[in-house]
Amino acid sequence: MLFALQCAAVFTVAAINDYVWSRYIAAVGARRAAASGMWAAGTLLLGSFGIVSYAQNYWLVIPAALGCFTGSYLAVRRMAAP
């Protein structure tokens, strides 16, 4: 797989994972047990892909970190919108 494609994939998965993680935290804070369980399972599945990817190439940590920022930013902006 081309490095640029790997970077894009890791960025995207990290962004989605952090979005899901933010939703998990919101569900736990709201004491929604079933929803928090669902979001927790999603973070495990998505996080596993990222870890396997950048364990093979440490340079992929950079797009993963940028993806994490993007996912959290978008989740908080969306949850804060009226």
Average pLDDT for 44-50: 85
Flag the least confident range among 5-9, 62-66, 72-76, 77-81. Answer: 77-81
Give backbone dihedrals phi and psi of 58, rounded to 5 degrees, phi first. Answer: -65, -20
Indicate the pTM of the whole model.
Answer: 0.81
pLDDT the model gives residue 37: 94
Of the pLDDT bands very low, low, confident and very high (cuts 50, 70, 90), residue 78 is: confident
Contacts of 70 (CB under 8 A, 6+ apart): 11, 14, 15, 18
Give mean pLDDT, residues 39-56.
85
CB-CB contact of 13 with 49 (8 Å): yes
Calculate helix-pair angle for 61-80, 3-29, nearest 10 degrees. 40
Share of the chain above pLDDT 90, in %: 60
